[in-house]
Amino acid sequence: MTWNGEELDFDAYLARLGHTGETKPDLDTLRALHRAHVAAIPFENLEMMLGRPVPLDLAALQDKMVRRRRGGYCYEQNLLFAAALERIGFHVTGLGARVRAGASITRAVTHMLLKIEADGEEWHCDVGFGADGLLEPIRLRDGEEARQGEWRYRIDREGDKGPLVLRTWRSDGWFDLYAYSLEPRLPVDYVVMNHYTSTHPRSSFIRQPVLQKAAPEARRRLVGDQLSVTHPDGSVVQRSVPVGELAGILARQFGIELDADDSAELIRVHYTGA
């Protein structure tokens, strides 16, 4: 199997998601698991902040996100999701994207997403983009638009042969999240991307803690010591997180509970006033 679905502790994964329904290779299952994964497993880069590598083998992914109930970033999350879908019987294709998200330059292909076949159609799936990310699959075709909770998304192709672009609606119009092609990517491709993203001095993920959570009613982010909650009407509530509140914020807002040693190290290295 391409995504090592046979190695997945499937029952433990479903328990982590809180999913108790059927698991068949159909659209209903795909939607249910996508929503449950996004709700249960937050986006986070704390291993990098703690000076640790980010392994992508399935055993490590299960240990971190399922057994230890931590989160992960795009490769970790989508590789785990791909293994689960493959185990069920879905046809899974990995894709790569250039993140835009307000960037003024063209970025390298460093984001992972998935193309899944279900009910005779192709679906764009991505459980690892963070606060602005999809809550559930969106049909993979030019001009497709979908409302998910209080959020709107659409896919547009740029020009006749340009990339597809995933966009989300904001109060000032459509906002580009990332651009991608349908060139298939293999697990080894993500190993290379992951090495750059988790170690290169210019990677934004090695500079400060980044935690994000997508939900139907709000988008939550903790970047450095700044916590922000964005609502569908465009309003944003933002505040600084004092060192003494960090552990509580991680637990309440993102469902992450670090042990005492990791919590102390994160504060020592990355938060002023420690």
The Cα 210–Cα 123 span in angstroms is 28
What is the arrangement of strands in the sheet containing 236-240, beginning at the earlier edge strand?
43-44, 210-214, 219-223, 226-230, 236-240
Tell me the Cα Rg of the chain: 18
Catalytic option among 111, 124, 125, 225: 111
What phi and psi values does residue 222 have, to the nearest 5 degrees? Answer: -125, 110
Annotated catalytic, 233? no
N-term to C-term CA, the chain: 47
Annotated catalytic, 74? yes
Alpha helices (H) along 68-226: 74-88, 187-199
CA within 13 Å, CB half, 251: 8
Annotated catalytic, 172? no
Contact 66, 41 (CB under 8 A): no
Catalytic option among 37, 74, 124, 225: 74
Catalytic option among 34, 37, 125, 126: 126
Q: Active-site positions?
A: 74, 111, 126
